[in-house]
Amino acid sequence: MSTATDLAADAPTLLDRLESGREALTARETEIARYVIAHYPESCLDSASAMARATGVSAATVVRLFAKLGYASFQEVQQEVRREVSRKLHSPAERVRLPEDGVSQGEITARTLETEIDNIRATFAALSDREIEAIVARLCAGRGRIYVIGEKNSFPIAYYIQTHLNLCLPDVTLLETGEARIADRLLWLTPDDLLIAISIRRYSPNTTRAAASLRELGGDVIALTDSPLSPLCPYATHRLLIETRSQSVFDSFTAAMSLSGLIVGAVARRRREAMLEILRRGERLYETFGTFLG
């Protein structure tokens, strides 16, 4: 049986509602929405009057906006945001201060398994087969170079994608982190190039800048991120959203790795014939350089 907490976790969040309902907002409501997004979650932890002063509208307009989004009151909005803050604070250093709930290690193990399964299920349920097919077609188009970028916690996902796409396709480059190196590597971008950008809150400004730079030239960006309001999304030609809930102080990247495996596996199937000689060449190189023990 689902608990109240489980049901709340499955309900659309404030950010989801702002994204899906933005076309129905008035000009003043849009200003409030922009303020909420730009200063989230702090924007919702003060009073409706404070939000009204910050956006130059009346408190009544603030209340009407959240009613339009389906909330019974502004207090309900604040309760949801406080739950979200407790569940997913900005950094592990903040999360580690949350009180333990006294459960056994066995219970934590069971909860973790359930959460990871739910992450994968929610991520894949939101996928569009048409979008995946379009992404695979773009990757296999043979047009321009492919760059992959992910910083901090997103770097292992970027490394996984680049390592496996490199066995399937030519000209797949993992961008080095650090502003100077990224700037150098992006010097020769062309409109035919493609960027796979991975960024999970807390978001990487370098990843967003790289996406913006390529889109400005007219190139394509595949964004793997955790929210439709991620700073990557405005620059995405294709967007894939990942669920990152965790029983730990750290975000879960299990669904991100599974989704990455889906993409590179689909590319490998499409490129099966072309890959055969490359894989043989790779085995010869691995033997030459002693890449593996056996």
Please provide residue 240's backbone torsions phi and psi, each rounded to the nearest 5 degrees.
Answer: -125, 125
pTM of the model: 0.70
Alpha-carbon span 245 to 13, nearest angstrom? 14
Residue 184, token pair as written in the block:
């150098």
- CATH class of this structure's domain 4-89: mainly alpha
**How far is it between the farthest Cα atoms of the chain?**
72
Give the pLDDT of residue 96. Answer: 56
Mean pLDDT of the chain: 87
Alpha-carbon span 56 to 32, nearest angstrom? 9
Question: pLDDT of 200-218, one tens digit each?
Answer: 987 889 999 999 999 999 9
pLDDT at 105 over 90: no
Question: pLDDT of 46-85, one tens digit each?
Answer: 888 889 999 999 999 999 999 999 999 998 998 888 777 6
Closest CA to 70 of 132, 20, 7, 119: 20
Mean pLDDT of 266-291: 90
CATH architecture of 129-289: 3-Layer(aba) Sandwich (3.40)
Task: Count Cα neighbours of 119 within 13 Å in the Cβ-side half-sphere.
Answer: 22
Closest CA to 150 of 90, 98, 210: 210
In the chain, CATH 1.10.10.10 covers 4-89
Residues with Cβ within 8 Å of 2's Cβ and at least 6 positions away in sequence, in order, are: 10
The percent of residues above 90 in pLDDT, for the chain, comes to: 52
In the chain, CATH 3.40.50.10490 covers 129-289
